[in-house]
Amino acid sequence: MPNCLILNGHPFTPSFSGAIAGRYAETLAGQGINIRRFDLADMTLPEHTIRKAGDEVMHGDVLAFWEALVWADHVMIVHPLWWGSMPAKLKALFDIGLQSGRAYRYRDGRPLPLGLLKGRSARLIVTSDTPNFFMALAYGNAHFRTMKNQILKFVGLNPVRISHFSTMRDSTPERRETFLRRTAEVAAADAQRLLRHSRKANPA
pTM score:
0.94
- Does the pLDDT at position 48 exceed 70? no
CATH number for the domain harbouring residue 190: 3.40.50.360
pLDDT value, residue 50: 54
How far apart CA 25 and CA 29 sit, in angstroms, is: 6
Q: Which tens digits make up the pLDDT trace of 124-178?
A: 999 999 999 999 999 999 999 999 999 999 999 999 999 999 999 999 999 999 9
CA nearest 3: which of 28, 33, 31?
33
pLDDT value, residue 57: 78
Domain that holds residue 164: 3-201
Burial environment of residue 59 by CB neighbours within 10 A (0 to 12, 13 to 18, 19 or more): exposed
How far apart CA 154 and CA 142 sit, in angstroms, is: 16
Is the distance from CB of 59 to CB of 46 less than 8 angstroms? yes
What are the start-end ranges of the H helices in 34-130?
60-71, 88-97
Helix (H, G, I), strand (E, B) or coil at 113: coil
- Does the pLDDT at position 56 exceed 70? no
* Number of domains composing the chain: 1
